[in-house]
Amino acid sequence: MKNIVIIGCGQGIGFAAAKILSENHYVIGLSRTENPEIENLNIEFHPIDILSGNLDEIIFPEVIDGLVYAPGSINLKPFNRFSIEDFRNDFEINVLGAVKTIQKLLPNLKKSETASVVLFSSVAAKLGMPFHSSISASKSAVEGLTKSMAAEFSTQKIRVNAIAPSLTDTNLASPLLSTPEKREASGRRHPLQRVGRADEIARMVAFLLSDHSAWITGQIIGIDGGMSNIKL
């Protein structure tokens, strides 16, 4: 049994990951979203906003084997309508929140023999997409952070990888999938002709935290229905 911390466990991919991982591991979940369904999971839950909250108020296990940083944003509009504050907010939630968490828990991760960190990028960091300038910028930073930390922490046997999904059926993406027509149109943009499911992404999270992925680090793993590498 591993000790795993999931930031952003309240909904979407973070919740799906908590559901899967809590079956066999001790999970500490943090989220500003207090989802009533969390009570049905066998996890230690702390309601906290990762950006404004004080992590020193939480007693974490001395040894942490897995860390998942799942908060994200989908802020889409024409470039000239983005404010500097928009870019700053997306950068804070996607990048600085991860930095804050990893810096806090790094001593605990160092005490594990099999430590693994999983971050989240986006297909938009690889594939140029209109209206995605803010999210693309912040997720590209996540990819750079992933590779740099993977190199720096490799001598301490801490693995760092990122998952880069395309549009996934979560609460965060609900405005883009709010009608059958929108859902169908979004699905057609992907070679596999549908949007992703949170559990599909969560199972990759579980794999990257497991010993089955012990020789994988510094990787950006696309789970995107083929969008980033296939053109039909």
Contacts (Cβ under 8 Å, ≥6 apart) of 201: 13, 16, 17, 163, 165, 168, 223
On whether residue 66 sits in a domain, the answer given is: yes
Q: What is the mean pLDDT of the chain?
A: 95
Residue 192 lies in a domain: no
For residue 168, CA distances in Å to 13, 126, 135, 215, 218 come to 9, 17, 15, 27, 23
Tell me the average pLDDT across 191-206.
95
Look at residue 175 and tell me if it is in a domain: no
Within-domain flag for 62:
yes
Portion of the chain with pLDDT greater than 70, in percent: 100
Domain assignment present for residue 32? The answer is: yes
For residue 186, is it within any domain? Answer: no
* Cα gap 150→161, rounded to integer Å: 7
In single-letter form, the type of residue at position 144 comes to G
Q: What is the pLDDT of residues 209-220, one digit of tens each?
A: 999 999 999 999
Q: Residue 91 is part of which domain span?
A: 3-169+198-223
pLDDT of residue 71: 95
Contact 197, 170 (CB under 8 A): no
Domain count, the chain: 1
Q: Give the domain CATH number at 105.
A: 3.40.50.720
pLDDT computed for residue 231 by the predictor: 85
Supply the angle between the helices 133-153 and 97-110 in degrees, to the nearest 10.
Answer: 20
- Burial class (CB within 10 angstroms; exposed 0-12, middle 13-18, buried 19+) of 65: buried
Q: Is there a domain that residue 174 lies in?
A: no
| pLDDT value at residue 185 | 86
Residue 74 has pLDDT above 90, yes or no: no
Token digits of residue 2: 């591993």
Please state, as a whole number, how many other Cβ atoms lie within 10 Å of the Cβ of residue 156.
12
Give dist(CA 206, CA 217) in Å, integer: 14
pLDDT digits (tens, 9 = 90+) for 129-187: 999 999 999 999 999 999 999 999 999 999 999 999 999 988 877 787 788 888 888 88
pLDDT at 17 over 80: yes
Q: Is residue 14 part of a domain?
A: yes
Q: Are 209 and 66 in contact (CB under 8 A)?
A: yes
Count CA atoms within 13 Å of residue 69 on its CB side. 31
Average pLDDT of the residues in 36-54: 94
